[in-house]
Chains A and B, each alone.
Chain A
């Protein structure tokens, strides 16, 4: 009886109504995921700085907008702050020899204090009626368009950049640092460069999200690395299954952003199913774990000891 009552309380109209908002948030997070893609997939560096950088981007943007700075300048400053944070992680890792995960965590933790200082508190609101915010949940449609324009420009720029000599050096360093050194690439410099670039994108995304939701919050970056990874991995699994062999670098970038959208649509769906919001992070982790495990398990299913044993025993029988 209770179940039927629960079902009848779900309104399909509400689900549909939530879709545009989820898409807008998904694209904004997709931009963040482009940053994660650079470190995680291209540089092969697990960068946990982003949890801090995302909030830094939000904090810098909101504080500057409140002080009367034009929004584009505020976003540029957010990107600069993100690049700086990436620079710190890169230097900790390459010049000071701190392992990648720890280097990221150290910067992330220090950003917590810096973000508190920036916000002079735990959060700060910015009112769309008083300031010319470029994305806001008050106008979801135009926000989607703006976010899409940002994503499209970034995808084009990244596609170009990773095709250049310098971008190729980043990909080579991620693929084989040993070979890269032998080919005359200064891999320390390249790592710092890539991590900075990645964090610049993450901060930009944080700056957009803070405008969209109308406030910056010290906790807005918590777990963002997992959301970014979720978008990257969902995008890859989808792209590979839809396009297969035709999956090229441009599609990989597009599917990263698309992965962010899918992620938020799934989140929207489970919220609609009235799952308590406290469980969201748990759900995100499960999604990432499942999508990371799928390609591995698939490969294993075709190539396992159990199967080999079965084949062997069939032959002997």
Chain B
């Protein structure tokens, strides 16, 4: 499904701010994998997702999605394969456009933008149904500007937009980090639901270890630009938070207390 082969990325090469962010990432995702990704700040989690999404070109290595090589494709050309939700709820939606206009934009992800009308006649019913699934009452506010919505509502909408046109791969970059606990768990629940319903292959970055253990069928831990732990299947089912903290301490060779601070 997704293949990353020896991917390297260094930022600010040739300056004193040089930072090696990805250091030889090899990763293979199977169809339908739901992978949670954990790791301290600066471990390279977001960088890995951005490399897959094509925010910038990688320095070395290859990336392919569903057998299609995308290493040389810019972000907008990879968009047909990828649905994304970002950490910042403001980032995934157009604030001064209506809810239905945002959905219509997302509905056309991967299609040429022609001179046909921006929202087809039959689409509104589809959007209404999709919005009803969110359970936020947005189906009654379809012509409201998205800028009027709360962060949680916008994040739920972004999630819907990312999956409206079924993506080959769904990338969730700490998409609940900016939300209050109740809203965060609601958005997380929706994510689970959408991924299961559409049989999506997904990657989710989180700082919450419990979430990382509870969700998905596979867990990656990253440190210093490398994947240092890759647990899946039955082994992941048995995983406890304490195990993760210990594993992190073992592999990264740092103290457990500091890890707790970093990862809890």
Contact = CB atoms under 8 A, between A and B. Distances in A.
Interface in B156-200: 161
Given A164-B114, A165-B115, A172-B105, A186 B76 contact: yes
Given A175-B97, A181-B75, A182-B53, A168 B92 contact: no
B156 to A, nearest CB: 15
Interface residues of A, number: 22
B76 A175 contact: no
Interface majority SS (helix, strand, loop, mixed), chain A: helix
Chain B, interface SS category? loop
B134 interface: no
A287 to B, nearest CB: 25
B137 interface: no
Contacts of A178: 86, 91
Contacts of B1: none
B105 A166 contact: no
Most buried by A among B90, B105, B116, B117: B105
Given A172-B97, A184-B76, A179 B117 contact: no
Contacts of A191: none
A183 interface: yes
Interface residues of B, number: 32
A20 interface: no
B113 A185 contact: yes
B170 to A, nearest CB: 12
A163 interface: yes
A175 B109 CA distance: 17
Contacts of A187: 76
A11 B68 CA distance: 77
Given A165-B113, A184-B76, A185-B113, 6 more contacts: A164-B113, A171-B101, A176-B91, A181-B79, A183-B105, A185-B79
Interface of A: 161, 163-169, 171-172, 175-176, 178-187
13 contacts: A164-B113, A164-B115, A164-B117, A168-B101, A169-B105, A171-B97, A171-B101, A172-B105, A181-B75, A182-B84, A183-B161, A184-B108, A184-B111
